[in-house]
């Protein structure tokens, strides 16, 4: 009877034993994790980056260039600067005068705006006496040129987004080679695993740095690229409205006379 009762409670003792070992393992793991965190905290960001080696220099340069270009693009790639709203009102006032269209004044207004939209309108005004198709073609060609210029200015951002992770990977490969070489030449066989892990840890710094630069830079590139797409659509819409209002309608009126 007693033996039967002992067998009945064997599984309880087993569970208690397993729970005890699990608690001990969790406690030890927590202590190890805390020790690793304390070690990580002791390394400042600058000292961590310095461990990346010489490849960190071009990576730092890439980050500075990316920030500079981003700030410049934030100012220059804007609807207000590229497609000034006041220009359409000025065209209306100058080209729909009761005394006749002031084409020269409209040209001066376009030049004064110093914007892609102003240059596109000016290209059409130069063909004021020509067929609307010719003016439309001139404006379309110049609009395409202006959009290509905007996209060309974004190439450097895309280049940095592509180049940064490759530089980081190169730094990691160089660090791994140096780490394995150090371990191979070391005469202390007891600390080789520790030396190897430390070398790998240092080598991975460049990969992390490269990705840290590349990910936001790539997001910035697509942000500006989408913005240029919207600017191109708006420029095309306003250009078509300009041709229809000041060229096609005028030619229809003159033809009806």
CA distance linking residue 197 with residue 214, whole number of Å: 26
Q: What is the pTM of this model?
A: 0.70
Per-residue buried b or exposed e for 47-79, using 16+ beta carbons within 10 Å of the residue's own CB? eebebbbebbeebeebbebbeebbeebeeebee
Q: What is the pLDDT of residues 11-21, one digit of tens each?
A: 443 444 344 43
Per-residue buried b or exposed e for 96-122, using 16+ beta carbons within 10 Å of the residue's own CB? eeeeebeeeebbebbeebebbbbbbbb
CA distance linking residue 154 with residue 162, whole number of Å: 13
Distances in Å between the Cα of 36 and the Cα atoms of 31, 48, 195 are 9, 15, 17
Q: Check if the beta carbon of residue 117 is closer than 8 Å to that of residue 238.
A: yes
* Angle at the Cα of 240 from the Cα atoms of 146 and 75, rounded to 5 degrees: 35
Tokens of 109: 């207004």
Q: What is the pLDDT of residue 234?
A: 93
Q: Check if the beta carbon of residue 120 is closer than 8 Å to that of residue 237.
A: no
Q: Check if the beta carbon of residue 242 is closer than 8 Å to that of residue 124.
A: yes
Distances in Å between the Cα of 5 and the Cα atoms of 11, 161, 165 are 11, 70, 66
Q: What is the pLDDT of residue 247?
A: 80
Q: What is the pLDDT of residue 20?
A: 44
Q: Determine the straight-line distance between the first and last CA of the chain, rounded to whole angstroms.
A: 122
CA distance linking residue 6 with residue 242, whole number of Å: 97
Instruction: Spell out, as residue ranges, where the chain has pLDDT lower than 50.
Output: 1-33, 35-36, 42, 252-257
List Cβ neighbours of 5 (8 Å cut-off, separation of 6 or more).
Answer: none
Q: What is the pLDDT of residue 157?
A: 93
């Amino acid at each position: 009877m007693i033996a039967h009762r002992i067998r009945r409670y064997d599984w309880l003792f087993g569970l208690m034993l397993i729970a005890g070992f699990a608690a001990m393992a969790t406690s030890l793991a927590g202590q190890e994790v805390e020790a690793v965190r304390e070690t990580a905290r002791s390394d400042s960001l600058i000292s961590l980056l310095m461990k990346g080696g010489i490849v960190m220099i071009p990576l730092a340069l890439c980050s500075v260039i990316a920030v500079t270009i981003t700030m410049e693009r934030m100012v220059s790639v804007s609807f207000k600067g590229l497609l000034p709203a006041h220009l359409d009102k000025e065209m209306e006032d100058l080209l729909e005068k009761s005394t006749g269209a002031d084409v020269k004044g409209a040209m001066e207004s376009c030049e004064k705006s110093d914007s892609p939209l102003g240059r596109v309108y000016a290209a059409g005004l130069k063909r004021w006496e020509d067929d609307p198709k010719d003016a439309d073609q001139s404006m379309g060609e110049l609009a395409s040129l202006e959009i290509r210029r905007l996209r060309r200015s974004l190439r450097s951002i895309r280049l940095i987004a592509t180049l940064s992770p490759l530089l980081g990977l190169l730094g990691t490969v160089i660090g791994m080679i140096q780490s394995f070489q150090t371990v191979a030449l070391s005469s202390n066989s007891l600390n080789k695993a520790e030396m190897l892990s430390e070398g790998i840890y240092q080598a991975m710094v460049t990969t992390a740095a490269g990705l840290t630069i590349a990910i936001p830079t790539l997001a910035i590139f697509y942000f500006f690229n989408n913005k240029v797409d919207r600017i191109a659509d708006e420029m095309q819409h306003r250009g078509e409205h300009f041709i229809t209002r000041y060229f096609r309608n005028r030619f229809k009126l003159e033809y009806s006379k």
